[in-house]
Structure 1
Amino acid sequence: MTIVVTGATGHLGRLAIESLLAKGVPAGEIVGLGRQVEKIADLGITVKQVSYDDVDSLTDAFRGADKVLFISGSEVGKRIQQHTNVVTAAKSAGVGLVVYTSAPKADTTDMKLAGEHLFTERLLADSGLPHTILRNSWYIENYNVPQALEHGLFGASGTGKISASPRADYAEAAASVLVGEGHAGKVYELGGEPFTMDELAAEISRQSGKAVTYIDLPEAKYTELLVGVGLPQAAAEIFADSDRAASQGALFVPRDQLESLLGHPVTPLATSIGAALA
């Protein structure tokens, strides 16, 4: 069996490969695709330098693949064409199963960030390829704990619950799907231990011994703040919109499906904060 991991040189991709290896998949059966291949040269797997912009190189890399972990691209605004290239290549190469990392509640949410993910889910459905959708909620790493100690936490999510888990939890879940059976056609809503931003601030305060507060802002003001710290306007608007959606419950996802794929509880918030402070 050959498993191909796209986006393998990113944080989630590397963790997924490490989890596959930990589950006993031989290194010779794993192929990692990415742009900065030196980042995974130490894993002992086959590594290929491939971009989502190059459909021909993707097709070549997918040939002979039984399963592909399709990690969504990171360039918001470019993903429709890039993801079309990936699906086209997978279909041309005759991939047996595509496992795609999507966004929470992609088919029902009004969160702007989910638009390209929903497009990709529909693209996969129309392609006829056997596929599995992993709708990953937030990564706890989205929150910079050392920065929060210095400046506090800011956002526009109000008292909305956010079901976040470390990337490692989502990577392990993806690996479980890749080594398991019976996942084709399934859509999994995956989320970790839920918390509000006030609760996140309180946990950082408890463990650090330093008072950390959360300042909730109107969406437009949060957009201005993000632009002020260097984010492009379009990216700032998407991040602020995600917080607006979170305030209305868009990022609250029960943890049961993630725990089912993991075979153990999700990583507790307290553990994640402790690791970030270490």
Structure 2
Amino acid sequence: MIVITGASGQLGRLVINILLKSVPAHEIIAAVRNPRKVDDLAALGVQVRQADYDQPETLVKAFQGANKLLLISSNAVGQRVPQHRAVIEAAKQVNIGLLAYTSILHADHSPLPLAVEHQATESLILASGIPAVLLRNGWYSENYLASIPAALQYGVLLGSAGDGRIASAACADYAAVAAAVLTGTDQAGRIYELAGDESYDLSEFAQAISQQSGKTVVYQNLPEPEFRAALIGAGLPESLATLLAESDVGASKGGLFDNSRQLSQLIGRPTLPIAVQIKTVLQ
């Protein structure tokens, strides 16, 4: 039995859809805060159980009978450590045989402020004694693809990443590797640094948008405070603007680059090229 936390989110849904190709639906548990959001999964035969990171008592009940668990990191930045601790403690209580955790690329020495909570979570997992595998996910291509409409509208792509190389991968690629690990063998104790096969800097990203759209887009590098202010001015919440600006600075320091190709090796195919993903957005 495999339980997926955060199953109503984009990554969780993708993982479950991939698992359904090789795992009977009744052996998959979708653990979600609001079960109504995954009625479609329940209709396929997936077990849907209510599980709230902020309500530890729901977690033990949700994890009963499972022997593998995918802990998809919470999106509540700043609250992740206590939330993840609750999941880890519940997993230990029900004797989970393998815990997979979606961490961050090179968590142990990443320059991204986001890494701090992932480092703390990895330490909690290690201290728990639960057999575990760390899926250190790099940047999601979707994070930059979301900026394409505004870049086309104004002819400028803003950022603070300088000439830092970004080896992003599609959410679907990260989902594929999670499913492969959950259905594989001999995974306990492994740490995977997961990133796209190709890398680019944001100037190259802007050039690719230009080439495929026929509209000129140039990259403008800004100091972190100016980029953050621009994001807030565009309507992003202050917390998200700060996260994106800080992450861009981290990218300028190499925090979003890895060329080990562990991701494509694990899924048995190349990762989806950024050019293909840009084309999809523009269609």
User: Which category describes the TM-score, using the shorter chain as reference length?
Assistant: over 0.9
Offset of 1:136 from its aligned partner?
Answer: 0.5
Do structure 1's residue 146 and structure 2's residue 144 form an aligned pair?
Answer: no
Provide closer, same or farther for how the CA distance between residues 255 and 117 of structure 1 changes in structure 2, counting only shifts above 3 A.
same
Aligned match of 2:203: 198
Question: Gaps (5+ residues) in structure 2?
Answer: none
Tell me the percent identity.
47
2:14 is matched with: 15
CA shift digits 1:141-181 (9 cap, x unpaired):
11212232223321100000011111000000000000000
State whether residues 21 and 27 of structure 1, in contact with CA within 8 Å, keep that contact through their aligned partners in structure 2.
Answer: yes
Q: Distance in 2 between matches of 1:261 and 1:219?
A: 35
Tell me the secondary structure at the aligned position of residue 215 of structure 1: strand
CA RMSD of aligned residues (A): 1.3
Deviations 1:180-228 (A, max 9, x none): 0011101100001211111111111111111112111011111222222
Alpha carbons 1:190, 1:254 under 8 Å: kept? no
Partner secondary structure for residue 188 of structure 1: strand
**SS of the counterpart of 2:114?**
helix
Distance 1:14 1:224 in 2: 33
CA distance in 1, matches of 2:188, 2:160: 37
How far is 1:236 from its partner?
Answer: 2.6
Q: Tell me how far apart the structure 2 counterparts of residues 164 and 36 of structure 1 sit (CA, whole Å).
A: 30
Q: Structure 1 stretches of 5 or more lacking a match?
A: none
SS in 2 for 1:122: helix
Summarize deviations over 1:61-120 as a string: whole Å, max 9, x none.
111111001100001011111011111111111111000000111111231111101100
CA distance in 1, matches of 2:219, 2:50: 42
Correspondence for 1:62: 63
TM-score (norm 1): 0.96
Runs of 4+ residues deviating >4 angstroms: none
1:72-111 equivalences in 2 (<5 Å): 72-111=73-112
Aligned length: 276
Give the counterpart letter for 1:212 in structure 2: V
Q: Which amino acid aligns with 1:14?
A: R
Aligned equivalents of 1:214 and 1:33: distance in 2? 41
Task: Give the 5 Å matches for 1:1-278.
Answer: 2-22=1-21, 24-43=22-41, 44=44, 45-143=46-144, 144=146, 145-151=148-154, 152-192=156-196, 193-278=198-283
Q: Aligned partners of 2:133, 2:29: CA distance in 1, in Å? A: 19
Q: Whole-Å Cα distance in 2 between the matches of residues 228 and 148 of structure 1?
A: 15
1:104 & 1:257 partners in 2: Cα distance?
12
